Amino acid sequence: MDNTVLPQALADQWQAQVQYLQNSVGVPHIDAIIDLSGDTLPCLATLPALSPQAQWSSLFAGLPESALQDQGPVLVRLHNNAWQHQ
């Protein structure tokens, strides 16, 4: 899997589609699953720095794999009206 950053045009298109869908159904947030395996970007380190802080949970919590939570999937709630979440 290629962990390079998305080209800005593709990232902007993806964000516009998410915002359109959120507005269509009246949901102010999205829940995303982020797979941290092979992650070269410090995703877990950046989540607490967001304002407001993003809610997240490791999907390995409570499982034997919980020791690997920094390498497994996390569920993150991102709010459309918070610019740092965009």
pLDDT digits (tens, 9 = 90+) for 14-29: 888 888 888 898 888 8
CA distance 36 to 25: 29
Residue 79, judged by CB atoms within 10 A of its CB (0-12, 13-18, 19+), counts as middle
List pLDDT tens digits, range 43-71.
Answer: 777 877 888 888 888 899 899 988 887 78
Tell me if 49 is assigned to some domain.
yes
Which regions of the chain does DSSP assign to beta strands (E)?
29-35, 55-58, 73-79
Tell me if 65 is assigned to some domain: yes
Residue 14 domain-assigned (yes or no): no
Q: Which domain holds residue 45?
A: 29-85
In a domain, 15, yes or no: no
Does residue 17 lie within any of the structural domains?
A: no
Does a structural domain hold residue 9? no
Residue 41, domain member (yes or no):
yes
Q: What global pTM score does this model have? A: 0.71
Q: Mark 33-50 as b/e (b = at least 16 C-beta within 10 Å).
A: eeebeeeeeeebeebeeb
Give the chain's domain count: 1
- Domain presence at residue 43: yes
